[in-house]
Amino acid sequence: NAGVTQTPKFRILKIGQSMTLQCTQDMNHNYMYWYRQDPGMGLKLIYYSVGAGITDKGEVPNGYNVSRSTTEDFPLRLELAAPSQTSVYFCASSFQARSGNTIYFGEGSWLTVV
């Protein structure tokens, strides 16, 4: 059972570099999300998407971009990496239903900007 898959798991970036965190889900979920989690802190929503072609900002969108060209994929792009973006990034997906909206998370991507 694949669920939500993120790549890469670990990455070190230099200040000013760009990169894309990949996320794919095989559950046909309409909603997808990107969170970041700093050490010892809770999760903060970066961006989310309610379906292909639709994205919206979360709590901390600055410095990031997303796209949702397909239901399955929701990549997160960092254009000019900064040390403040050192964090663990979690991708998640869910299916909106009348009985609730359970969110499933990937295993995380550890990013260090030096």
Partner 1 sequence: DAKTTQPTSMDCAEGRAANLPCNHSTISGNEYVYWYRQIHSQGPQYIIHGLKNNETNEMASLIITEDRKSSTLILPHATLRDTAVYYCIVRVAEETSGSRLTFGEGTQLTVNP
Tell me the closest approach of the beta carbon of residue 15 to partner 1, in angstroms. 25
Least Å from the CB of residue 80 to partner 1? 26
Cis check: omega of the bond before 8, within 30 degrees of 0: yes
Cα 47 from chain centroid (whole Å): 7
Asked if 75 and 65 touch (Cβ cutoff 8 Å), the reply is: no
CA angle 55/59/62 to nearest 5° reads 75
Per CB under 8 A, contacts with partner 1 among 84-113 are 90, 92, 94, 96-108
Residues 24-83 binding partner 1 (CB under 8 A) are 31, 33, 35, 41-45, 48, 50, 56, 58-59
Which CA distances in Å does 31 have to 20, 28, 50, 61, 96?
19, 9, 4, 17, 7
Closest distance of CB 50 from partner 1, Å: 6
* R_g of the chain, CA atoms, integer Å: 13
Instruction: Provide, rounded to whole angstroms, the least separation between the CB of residue 63 and partner 1.
Output: 19
Question: Please, which residue, 42 or 62, has the CB nearer to partner 1?
Answer: 42
CA separation for the pair 57, 66 (Å, rounded)? 9
The residue among 41 and 80 lying less far from partner 1, judged by its C-beta, is 41
| Residue numbers at the binding site for partner 1 (CB under 8 A) | 4, 31, 33, 35, 41-45, 48, 50, 56, 58-59, 90, 92, 94, 96-108
